[in-house]
Amino acid sequence: MKKFYFALIFFSFSVLTFAQQEQQFTQNMFTNMFTNPGYAGINKQICLTTLFRQQWTGFTDTYTDKNGVQQTHKGAPQTILLSVDGPIRALRGGIGLSIFSDKLGFESNLGVKLAYSFHQPISIGVLGIGIQVGFLNKSIDFSNFNPIDLNDPLLNNQTGKKSTFITDIAAGLFYNIPGKAYVGISSSQLIQGKIKIDIPNIKSSLKRHYYLTGAYHWTIPGAPDWELSPYLLIKTDFASAQYDVTAMAKWKNMVWAGISYRVQDAVGIIIGAYPFNQPTMKPALQQLKIGYSYDITTSALGKSKRSSGTHEVMLGYCFKIVITPHVTKYINTRFL
C-alpha cells in the first residue's frame, strides 16, 4: 500500500533497504503484460492498453513552511501505464513493451519494461515462459520537503531534485486457455537494483515482488449471452501482501460490470464496454474497449475522509495483421 509520507520514512534510518512498491491497478485483468512477461503475445493479437489512475482523490498535505507561510501540497499518487504486446512467429513466442509514469508526493518514477515470452502448447492451452528487463528513472524533489525536525541533518543538507537510474529484470510463467481461463506466476525486481541517490549513510534498493494471478470465464447454462468471470491477484514481497478479488459479468461480449475488493484498502466498482462491437460497424473499430473503475477507500485514509476515492480509466485495442498469400500461376506453353 502506498503512503504519502513514505519519502519521509525513507530518511528516518541511517541504513535502510527500501521496498519500492510496484504500481497497482483496480482493473488488473487488463495489466497482465505489466506484471508478467510470460503474457507477451499469448493472445495471438497485437494489443495496446493504456490506463490512467488517480489514487486518493482530494488527498492533500497542509503545512507551514520555514517562513511561516501555510502551504498545501497535492501528494495523491498518480499513475499512467501504456503497454503493447504481440506474437512473433519467427521467435516462437511474443514480445511486449510497458511504459509507466508514477508520481507519489515529491517522488517521480518513469520506467520502461521490455519482455520476451516463449510459447509452448500444453494440452488445451499455451504456456508462456517470459523474461523481462526494466529501466527505471527515480527522482526526488528535496526543495519541497518540510522536516518535522528543523535540525534534521539529512533533509537540511539536501536541495533541489536528485535522480538515479536503475536496471532490473523480471520473469514469469503464464498459462492461457483461450476464452476459458488463465493462471500466471511472476516475480519482478529480481536483482533488487540499487537506488543510488547521493545521501550520506543511506543505502537502499528495489524490493523483489511476487505475483499470482488467475481467472476463469464461465458461460451461464441456459443464458449463453452472459459470462461470469472471477479474477484473483495476489502481490507480495514476503514482508506484506496485497489481495485483489474481482467478480465481473459480461453481456454479449459488449458490456461488462463488476465489483472488486482489495483487502484492508478499497472496494472498487468496474464498468466497461466495446462501444463499437456491432455488425454494422467497421471491423477495425469493433475491438476497441473502454473501462472505468472507482475505488471507495476503506483504509484509515477513507475513514478520516482524507481520500474521496480513486478513479481509473482504461482504453484498449487489439488487432491481427493478416497477410494474404500471393498465388502465382504458370502456363505450360505445350498446351497453348
pLDDT digits (tens, 9 = 90+) for 322-336: 666 666 666 665 655
Element (H, E) at 155: helix 153-156
Report, as an integer, the average pLDDT of 152-161.
Answer: 68
Number of C-beta neighbours around residue 235 at 10 A: 20
Report, as an integer, the average pLDDT of 128-146.
Answer: 88
pLDDT digits (tens, 9 = 90+) for 182-212: 999 999 999 998 888 766 666 788 899 999 9
Q: Is the pLDDT of residue 21 over 90?
A: no
Structural domain that includes position 164: 23-335
Closest CA to 73 of 145, 21, 8: 145
CB 53 within 8 A of CB 103: no
Is 2 inside any structural domain? no
Is residue 5 very low, low, confident or very high in pLDDT (cuts 50, 70, 90)?
A: very low
Closest CA to 37 of 118, 126, 92: 118
φ and ψ of 139, to 5 deg? -135, 145
DSSP string covering 25-74, please? -TTGGG-HHHH-GGGTTTTSSEEEEEEEEE-STT--EEEE-TTS-EEEE-
pLDDT digits (tens, 9 = 90+) for 30-86: 999 999 999 999 999 999 999 999 988 877 666 555 566 666 666 788 999 999 999
Is 6 inside any structural domain? no
pLDDT digits (tens, 9 = 90+) for 277-310: 887 888 878 889 999 999 999 987 766 767 778 9
Please state the domain count of the chain: 1
Residues 6+ apart with CB under 8 A from 56: 4, 76, 77, 297, 301, 306, 307, 308, 309, 310
Q: CA-CA distance, 111 to 280, in Å (whole number)? A: 40
Is 8 inside any structural domain? no
Q: CA-CA distance, 96 to 190, in Å (whole number)? A: 18
Is 10 inside any structural domain? no
Is 97 inside any structural domain? yes
pLDDT at 57: 83
Element (H, E) at 33: helix 32-35
Q: CA-CA distance, 57 to 71, in Å (whole number)? A: 18
Is 13 inside any structural domain? no
Is 236 inside any structural domain? yes
Is 72 inside any structural domain? yes
CA angle 58, 62, 63 (to 5 degrees): 165
What's the CATH number where 198 sits? 2.40.160
> How many helices (H) does the chain have, and how many strands (E)?
5, 19
Q: Is the pLDDT of residue 99 over 60?
A: yes
CB 86 within 8 A of CB 49: no
Mean per-residue pLDDT of the chain:
85
| Higher per-residue pLDDT: 76 or 226 | 226
